[in-house]
Amino acid sequence: MNLVLLLTVLTVGISMYAWSNDQLMQSWTMRPYAIARDSSQSYRFLTSGFLHADWAHLAFNMIAFYSFGGIVLTILQATFGLLMGSAAFLLLYLGGIVLSDLPTYFRHRNDRYYNSLGASGGVSSIIFAAVLYAPTIGIGFPLLPDLTIPGFLWGGLYLAYSWYMGRRQGDNINHDAHFYGALFGFLLMLVFIPAAGPAFFMQIGAYIQSKI
């Protein structure tokens, strides 16, 4: 089975099961306070990425992941081969889930009531890996799917919004996971394929020149 499809099916299945199993939901959710006092619960950094609050949360993440995951997986497998390319993809996605929660952990480790869940850190990682490789790819907005802008502009707006909202902390969304997951994916893809860096700026330059 395609790795992107496998991860999508797995995430959907676990999320749906957790909706009817509160014990699983509570034990897998990201809880910095619990981890800080019991390191054996560090697994929550990863498991929280397979849980979602509701259908809208799940659908948004999985549609975005499936839309961009195939692009990134194809690039990595073409570059490194089937096995190593798949391993690199898993590192991008799962690493994005885990690493994007580290700032959240340090910020909220003394907050008894804070918790978060969702694959957003991993999804952001995959999207920004795709943006690095194809910065002029058109990306739309959730409420305006027919309106698309180049990936590098969309990415800049996404990072600015996530950073701003992460500082406000007023809407019960882990914007820090979005921000740091995106940075992780962009930088790790650059490590995997260093030539993508110069190509990134060349593509943007060519795009701007074509609009002048």
- CA–CA gap between residue 51 and residue 27 (Å, rounded): 11
Model confidence, pTM: 0.93
- CA–CA gap between residue 143 and residue 123 (Å, rounded): 18
Among residues 2, 1, 6, 7, the alpha carbon closest in space to that of 125 is found at 7
For residue 88, give every residue at least 6 positions away whose Cβ sits within 8 Å of its Cβ, in sequence order, or none.
Answer: 76, 80, 192
Among residues 37, 35, 40, 13, the alpha carbon closest in space to that of 24 is found at 13
Delimit the domains of the chain by residue range. 3-211
pLDDT, one tens digit for every residue, the chain (212 residues): 699 999 999 999 999 999 999 999 999 999 999 999 999 999 999 999 999 999 999 999 999 999 999 999 999 999 999 999 999 999 999 999 999 999 999 999 999 999 999 999 999 999 999 999 999 998 877 666 678 899 999 999 999 999 999 888 767 789 999 999 999 999 999 999 999 999 999 999 999 999 88
Instruction: Classify 28 as helix, strand or coil.
Output: helix
The 8-class DSSP code of residue 119 comes to S
- CA–CA gap between residue 81 and residue 74 (Å, rounded): 10
Q: Which tokens in the block code for residue 38? A: 């019991």
- CA–CA gap between residue 105 and residue 73 (Å, rounded): 29
For 3-211, CATH number? Answer: 1.20.1540.10
133 contacts 75 by C-beta, under 8 angstroms: yes
Cα pseudo-dihedral 142, 144, 147, 152, rounded to 10:
-30
